[in-house]
Amino acid sequence: MTRKYSINFSIPKRSKNSIKFIIIHYTGMNNQSKAITRLCELNSKVSTHYFIKNDGKLLNFVPDLYEAWHAGKSRWKNFNSLNKYSIGIEINNPGHDNRYLKFKYKQISTLKKLLKELIKKYKIKKYNILGHSDIAPDRKKDPGEKFPWEILAKNNLSIWHNIDKKKIKLLRNKKVKSLEKNKFLSNLKIIGYSINIKDKTLIIKAFQRRFRQDLINGKIDEECLFISKNLLKKC
């Protein structure tokens, strides 16, 4: 790991026990060098604790016990402004607004090693490993539907539903009644999503980018409802 310090962080130090979450991002820029520069420039007002390059090499910009500026306006369960309670990890990827790519094997390999270390060090629950779009669905799409959440879950580094894919697809696009739609949103709130957003399709899409990655349409169907019920057992 290479240390390359960013000046964009808050002081004083926070306690080790205050770190409850890990938030995963993509850079959303075409140029890796420019992304690194931006995360270190004062005028950008953004930073991260860790940066994973295309070749899997790991950079450390902000020490863990200082608050990096990566999450912005955010909410998960009863926590607001998650910068205070989280460690941010940026993975280089052009993102949705450019040429969104599948994450590289070396990047995910490095991420898995880093997550294992951080989870052990700060006793972070695997259901608190989140994407930026989970905590800010009205603003963000990252790390997006090409991010391998299921692979992380198989390594005990996140959560995923344990439903047979062929069976669950039989429920796809099957309409649900208003009562069931409300139940789905209630499930999302229990999982951790903030549902106090006017445009509910943004919350639904955030859920789909995380847990039903091959169809992101912002519509609640029986498949989404069933997945949300299954996830309640894991939160």
Q: CA-CA distances (angstroms) from residue 33 to 13, 30, 38, 63, 92?
A: 29, 9, 9, 21, 10
CA–CA separation, 224 and 210 (whole Å): 11
Active site residue: 90, 117, 180, 222, which one?
90
69 close to 49: Cβ distance less than 8 angstroms: no
90 labelled catalytic:
yes
Helices assigned H by DSSP within the chain: 32-38, 105-122, 132-135, 149-154, 165-169, 178-191, 200-211, 222-231
DSSP state of 102: P
Question: What burial class does residue 16 get, using C-beta atoms within 10 Å of its C-beta: 0-12 exposed, 13-18 middle, 19+ buried?
Answer: exposed
Q: What is the dihedral of CA 160, 217, 142, 107, to 10 degrees?
A: 60
User: Per-residue DSSP letters for 139-199?
Assistant: T---S-TTS-HHHHHHTTSS------HHHHHTTTT----HHHHHHHHHHHHHHT-----S-
User: Which residues are known to be catalytic?
Assistant: 90
